Amino acid sequence: MIQPFHLAIPVQNLANCRAFYRDILKCVEGRSTADWVDFDFFGHQLVLHQKDDFKPQKISNSVDGYDVPVPHFGVVLTWKDWHSLADRLRTADLKFEIAPCIRFQGKTGEQATMFFNDPENNALEFKAFKDMGQLFAK
Domain ranges within the chain, ordered by starting residue: 6-50, 60-134
CATH class of 6-50: alpha beta
Cβ 30 vs Cβ 39: under 8 Å:
yes
Q: Say if residue 69's pLDDT is above 90.
A: no
Q: What CATH superfamily classification does 60-134 receive?
A: 2,3-Dihydroxybiphenyl 1,2-Dioxygenase, domain 1 (3.10.180.10)
pLDDT in tens, 71-96: 999 999 999 999 999 999 999 999 99
Q: For the whole model, what pTM was predicted? A: 0.91
Q: How confident is the model at residue 63 (pLDDT cuts 50, 70, 90)?
A: confident
Class of residue 57 by CB neighbours under 10 A (exposed 0-12, middle 13-18, buried 19+): exposed
Phi, psi of 68 (to 5 degrees): -85, 125
Q: How confident is the model at residue 59 (pLDDT cuts 50, 70, 90)?
A: confident
